[in-house]
Every structure is written in C-alpha cells, then in structure tokens.
Amino acid sequence: MIKVLLVDDHRIVRQGLRQVLSDLDDVQVVDEAADGVEALRLIRAWMDLTDGPGLDVVLLDIALPGRDGLDVLKQIKHEYPRLGVVMLSTYPDRQFAVRCLRAGAQAYLNKGADPDDMIAAIRKVASGGTYLTPGVAELLANSISEVVARPPHEMLSQREHQVFRLLAEGQSVGQIAQALNLSPNTVSTYRARILEKTGVRNDVELALYAVKQQVLTV
C-alpha cells in the first residue's frame, strides 16, 4: 500500500485529491496538512514511527502560507532524501518545474493535470522513480542544453525568488517578513540583492520586469 500525505492550504483541493485517490486499491491517503509547518511536523511523526517509515509519497502544493512548498521540499530532502515528493502547482510549468526537480522533487504536476497523470506519478515516485510529463521533460531538456543567457530572475536563489515574487505582487517588506517568518532587515537585504541582480532600481520597475518576464500576469 502506497501511503500518501496531502499538503495544500485549500481544503476543497485536498478533498478533491482524496476523491481521486479513494478508489485505488494500492494508494491510501493517511494524513493531510494545510501549511508547510504542519506538513513537516506530520512528516516527521510518520517517518519516525517505530515500526518503520509510514509515508511513501508527499503530494506537496508549491504555494503554501508561511513556509512555501519549495522551502518545505528542500527540508524534506535534507531530512528524508528517499521520501518521494510530487509537487503540485497552479503556476505555468516553465516557472517552477525545473526549479522543483533540481531541488529534489520526483514529479511536478499542474493541478489541472489529468487524474491519470497524478496516479501514475504517485506510483512511479513510490517505486523510487521520477515521473515527467512531456511538457516538463521538454523544459528539463531545454534547461540542460540551454546555451543562451538565462534571464536574471532565474539566477536568484530559492529564497530570493520567493521575496522577488512577493515584492512584484506589491507586498511591503514588513508583510513579506511576516509571511516568510523573517526579520524586516533580512527581507531588506534580499530586496537589495534582487534589485542588483535584476538590474532594476525600485519595486515599481521590479513589478514591470516580473510582468515582462511572465513571472506575474495582469
């Protein structure tokens, strides 16, 4: 039996995932979490059971409050490198798929994907493999063979990319600090690095850059 943990901040999404998986004889949803902190707590509890690892796959949303999915993924792979992770997202694949795979995820699926893809991904990842949709496989291949210069925002670290998106969305340094559980001084340091790396002068230009690069849509 493949034991699965669902991690998504929307209850209706978690219910939908449960419904998709409920009719399978070889998959069991054993728990669910609504944010990154709760997810890590549950993962540790299940993985440290005395009778052996209690989880095989984590279905992990990339957009979580407090501690986002990429950050949680990195922590999972640090503590439990063999635990399978399938990343879920509503963002276009080109924005996060390669980033997630490089961080250790074994699959990346859009929430609008065919349920058969999700089921196949869970089974593949539970067996220790990697599941790539044709679109994600093409993105990964292009990233490996890429010879042209990458846009500046693609060179940001994971944490810088988080702050970049929130700044571009119009959030203040204080709001970002609270959302990411960082000090305002730390966020200000990240902001200065982001402005330098992207070559813009202020938050307005950063937002325009994000729209131009299709990181944000209007």
The pLDDT of 56-77, averaged and rounded, is: 91
Name the token pair of 120: 């196949």
Residue 39 has pLDDT above 60, yes or no: yes
Residue 75 has pLDDT above 70, yes or no: yes
CATH 1.10.10.10 domain range(s) in the chain: 152-212
Please tell me the distance from the alpha carbon of residue 129 to that of residue 84, in angstroms, as a whole number.
9
pLDDT digits (tens, 9 = 90+) for 117-129: 999 999 999 999 9
Residue where the block lists tokens 């399938």: 86
The pLDDT of 188-199, averaged and rounded, is: 91
Phi and psi (nearest 5°) for 139? -60, -40
Please tell me the distance from the alpha carbon of residue 37 to that of residue 43, in angstroms, as a whole number.
10
Among 38-42, 119-123, 214-218, which stretch is predicted with the lowest mean pLDDT? 214-218
Class of domain 2-144: alpha beta
CA dist list (Å): 100 to 19, 48, 200 = 26, 25, 26
The pLDDT of 185-191, averaged and rounded, is: 93
Amino acid 145: pLDDT:
55
The verdict on domain 152-212 having CATH code 1.10.10.10 is yes
For residues 155 and 218, the model is more confident at 155
CATH 3.40.50.2300 domain range(s) in the chain: 2-144
Show Cβ contacts of residue 15 under 8 Å, excluding neighbours closer than 6 positions: none
Show Cβ contacts of residue 75 under 8 Å, excluding neighbours closer than 6 positions: 40
The pLDDT of 197-211, averaged and rounded, is: 89
Please work out, in degrees rounded to the nearest 5, the angle formed at the alpha carbon of residue 59 by the alpha carbons of 215 and 162.
Answer: 30
